Chains A and B, each alone.
Chain A
Amino acid sequence: MKELSLHLLDIAENSINAEASHIIISVEENSLDDILKMSVKDNGKGMTSEMAQRIMDPFITSRTTRKVGLGIPLLKAAAEMCNGFLHIESHPGSGTELIVQFQRSHIDRMPIGDLAGTILHLVVGSPVVHWTFIYKANDEIFEFDDQIIKQELNGIPLSEPIIISFIRNEISSGIKSLRLASDY
């Protein structure tokens, strides 16, 4: 993967597969502590803490189509290359939270990339899920929650053109208003 937002998309897909009905994606940039932290938290099936450790192995996967699951091991390797870590906390029946952290200024830290596009695709492509997105840049926060939009639209499919534009604008202008100056 060439962008961190693609990794987020990948991890969020895991949450969807775990039958989560509410997924919270959070991205936090702190230029003072030099930390970039991302997390995906869901209320899906969850797993034992023993399984949560085992999934760091590329040969452990819940996929039946292939014997290899590279999403988590690759993200873990990317974080560790940047003085970071990846941690998964999970309990059967109550969901999973994956937290990954990088040294923000590390030369090998891949760019965040198209975060707005990623969130838009998740919201539109998996409308059954309640999506919450939180973006924090130093002390400022932008929070997006699709419930308000869905309640107001009351059943209109999200892939209608004007609605896609509306959601796209909401998310990208919210992120832009906070994006740190020295950011990529």
Chain B
Amino acid sequence: MPTIKSIEDLKKIREEALRKQEVKSASGQKQIIVGMGTCGIAAGARDTMKAILEKIENENLSGILVTQTGCIGICEMEPIVQVQIGDAPKITYGKVSKNIADRIIDEHILAGNIVKEHMINL
């Protein structure tokens, strides 16, 4: 039977997350999309996703939605990461290593500056 370590822990986590959520960002919902097609996975996309989640956990970054998508057709540029902030146009980054992922979060997501040298045009 599936068991969760502690429902109590979950309740506390929910309360804490609710408190954090009350501070809504003016620039709109921040979303990171990681490509997880076969090409992406073979190129190391899981490690890219891992770097993104670890950064969020370690620096306690609230309000960033992280989702995954399939192959978008530019397999030679994998791992691919897309950033969507509010209604702004989606920006696509290619060959995203752990370091580049960290920069994307620091410079684009948190400070609003696109990391131009890693951006690719679809």
Contacts and interface: CB of A to CB of B under 8 A. Distances in A.
B70 A66 contact: no
A161 B56 CA distance: 6
B38 interface: yes
Nearest to B72: A65
Contact of B4 (A6, A132, A148): A148
Interface stretch (A27-35, A88-96, A163-171): A163-171
B90 interface: no
Contacts of A153: 10, 13-14, 17
Given A161-B56, A166-B13, A152 B71 contact: no
Contacts of A163: 13, 17
B16 A162 contact: yes
B104 interface: no
Interface in B64-114: 64-68, 70-73, 75
B118 interface: no
A144 B21 CA distance: 27
Interface string B35-54: 01111011000100110010
B10 A164 contact: no
B66 A65 contact: no
Contacts of B41: 1, 6, 9-10, 13
Interface residues of A, number: 46
B61 A161 contact: yes
B62 A160 contact: yes
Given A117-B50, A152-B11, A153-B17, A161 B2 contact: no
A111 interface: no
A8 B30 CA distance: 28
B36 A13 contact: yes
A126 B9 CA distance: 23
18 contacts: A9-B46, A10-B38, A10-B41, A13-B37, A13-B68, A66-B39, A70-B38, A117-B50, A120-B53, A121-B53, A121-B68, A122-B68, A126-B68, A154-B14, A162-B16, A166-B10, A170-B4, A170-B5
